[in-house]
């Protein structure tokens, strides 16, 4: 097989460069947003307000990036999973990805809803504000949703850990390309 055919087969097993960009931007934004929330929890009141304001704004950016990624994914199908995966690994991989997408949409929307129930808008880094949803005031319900939002964020962190472990397993032990499917370099076996 010539090098052009090999490159085409390797590329077909990789995600597109746009999908890679969405993946890594969302991953970075989620990690930064998690750290902002953690910092807010341990900060004084004035600092906590700043951290949470940026957490909320970045959450809306994550929502937009996720919607963009889903549209891209719909138009550009993803490469198939490696053929050497056991059935349970395929089911787990698909399940984790579905839960990721649900959380990447539900967490920002839930945060926006809870903020709205507390009478607030979302300040987008001082550039503009996203107005509160027309839901009226209900601080008790807002706090309940914030609690669910926090739980969802914790689930997201654990899933990220599982996702990283899976990518490392497939890369280092299975040697089926694993993480290189989402990077523009490295070997992805055909």
Q: Give domain status of residue 187, yes or no.
A: no
> Would you place residue 12 in the very low, low, confident or very high pLDDT band (cuts 50, 70, 90)?
low
Q: Give domain status of residue 190, yes or no.
A: no
What's the CATH code of the domain at 68? 1.20.950
Please give the residue that has the higher pLDDT: either 190 or 72: 72
Q: Give domain status of residue 117, yes or no.
A: yes
φ/ψ region of 81 (left if φ > 0, alpha if ψ in -120 to 50, else beta) reads: beta
Q: Give domain status of residue 188, yes or no.
A: no
How many domains does the structure of the chain reveal?
1
Q: What is the CA radius of gyration of the chain?
A: 19
* Structural domain boundaries, residue 13: 3-182
SS3 62: helix
Burial class (CB in 10 A: 0-12, 13-18, 19+), 114: buried
Q: What is the pLDDT of residues 119-168, one digit of tens each?
A: 999 999 999 999 999 999 999 999 999 999 999 999 999 999 999 999 99
């Amino acid at each position: 097989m010539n090098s052009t055919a090999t490159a085409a087969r390797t590329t077909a097993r990789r995600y597109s460069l746009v999908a890679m960009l969405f993946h890594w931007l969302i991953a970075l934004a989620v990690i930064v947003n998690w750290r902002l929330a953690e910092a807010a929890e341990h900060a004084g009141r004035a600092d906590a307000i700043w951290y949470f304001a940026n957490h909320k704004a970045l959450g809306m950016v994550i929502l937009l990036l996720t919607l963009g990624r889903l549209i891209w994914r719909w138009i550009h199908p993803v490469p198939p999973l490696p053929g050497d995966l056991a059935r349970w690994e395929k089911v787990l991989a698909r399940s984790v990805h579905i839960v990721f997408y649900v959380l990447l949409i539900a967490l920002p929307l839930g945060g926006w809803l809870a903020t709205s129930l507390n009478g607030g808008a979302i300040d987008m880094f001082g550039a503009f504000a996203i107005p509160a949803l027309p839901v009226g005031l209900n601080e008790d319900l807002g706090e309940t949703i914030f609690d669910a939002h926090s739980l969802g964020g914790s689930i997201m962190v654990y899933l990220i850990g599982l996702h990283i472990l899976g990518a490392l397993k497939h890369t280092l032990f299975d040697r089926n390309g694993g993480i290189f499917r989402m990077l523009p370099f490295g070997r992805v076996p055909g």
